Structure 1
Amino acid sequence: MVEEKEEQRIELEKELNVLIAEHESIKTEYGSMSDSLSVKDSIIQANAKEIKELLNYKWEYRKVNKKLNLLRKIAQGYVKQLDSVYTVNRELTEENEKIREQYAGEQQKSRELTKDKEQLIEKVTEASALKAYNVSAYGVRFTGSGRERTTDKAKKVERVKVCFTVGENKLVEPGTKTFYVRILRPDNVVVMQKMEDVYTFEYQGGKMEYTAKKEISYENSATDLCIFWTKKNKASGAMVGVYSVFVYSDGVEIGKTAFELK
Structure 2
Amino acid sequence: METKDTEQKSGKSTLWIVLLIASVMLNIYQWFHTSKTIDNYEQRVDTLVVERVNVEKELADTKAELEKYRGISANLDSLLNEAQAQLDVQEAKIKNLSKSERNTVELNKKLQAQLKDLQMLRDEYLGRIDSLLMANKQLQTEKEQLTSNVESLSKNLETTVATASVLKSEYIKVKSLKRRDSGKYVETAMAKRTHKLDVCFDILDNKITKQGEKTVYLKITEPGGKPIGNRSTGSNTFKTSSGEEVMYASSANITFTGAKQNVCMSYEEQQDKMFPAGTYLVEVYVDGNLSGAGSFTLR
Q: C-alpha offsets along residues 177-217 of structure 1, whole Å, 9 cap, x if unaligned?
A: 33110112233322112368862334345753210123334
Cα 1:209/1:86, change in 2 over 3 Å: same
Mapped partners of 1:116, 1:249: distance in 2: 27
Aligned partner of 1:71 in structure 2 is 108
Structure 2 residue corresponding to 1:184, chosen from 181, 197, 221:
221
Query: Percent same amino acid among aligned pairs?
Result: 20
Q: Does 1:100 align with 2:137?
A: yes
Q: Is the 8 A contact 1:34 1:82 kept in 2?
A: no
Letter in 1 for 2:215: T
Q: C-alpha offsets along residues 191-245 of structure 1, whole Å, 9 cap, x if unaligned?
A: 1123688623343457532101233343221112222212210x22522333222
Q: TM-score, with normalisation over the residues of structure 1?
A: 0.67
Looking at both structures, which has the greater relative contact order when contacts are Cα pairs under 8 Å and sequence separation is at least 6? 1
Cα 1:195/1:116, change in 2 over 3 Å: farther
Letter in 2 for 1:169: N
Q: Does 1:241 align with 2:278?
A: yes
Cα 1:162/1:35, change in 2 over 3 Å: closer
Cα 1:242/1:198, change in 2 over 3 Å: closer
Aligned partner of 1:174 in structure 2 is 211
Mapped partners of 2:210, 2:106: distance in 1: 92
Using the TM superposition, name which of 202-211 and 167-176 deviates more.
202-211
Q: Does 1:149 align with 2:187?
A: yes
Mapped partners of 2:139, 2:106: distance in 1: 49
Letter in 2 for 1:239: P
Q: Does 1:223 align with 2:258?
A: no
Larger relative helix fraction:
2
Task: Give the length in aligned residue pairs.
Answer: 235
Structure 1 residue corresponding to 2:247, chosen from 189, 201, 209:
209
Q: Is the 8 A contact 2:203 2:262 kept in 1?
A: yes
Q: Secondary structure at the match of 1:155?
A: helix
* Structure 1 position 35, deviation (Å): 7.0
Aligned partner of 2:165 in structure 1 is 128
* Structure 1 position 167, deviation (Å): 0.4
Q: Does 1:254 align with 2:291?
A: yes
Cα 1:143/1:35, change in 2 over 3 Å: closer
Q: TM-score, with normalisation over the residues of structure 2?
A: 0.60
Show structure 1 runs of 5+ residues with no match: 48-62
Mapped partners of 1:127, 1:35: distance in 2: 60
* Structure 1 position 174, deviation (Å): 3.5
Mapped partners of 1:157, 1:198: distance in 2: 18
Q: Is the 8 A contact 1:143 1:149 kept in 2?
A: no
Letter in 2 for 1:149: E
Q: C-alpha offsets along residues 138-180 of structure 1, whole Å, 9 cap, x if unaligned?
A: 53346789453251x3223222232221000123343443311
Aligned partner of 1:200 in structure 2 is 237
Mapped partners of 2:200, 2:105: distance in 1: 107
* Structure 1 position 110, deviation (Å): 2.1
Mapped partners of 1:215, 1:165: distance in 2: 15
Cα 1:196/1:232, change in 2 over 3 Å: closer
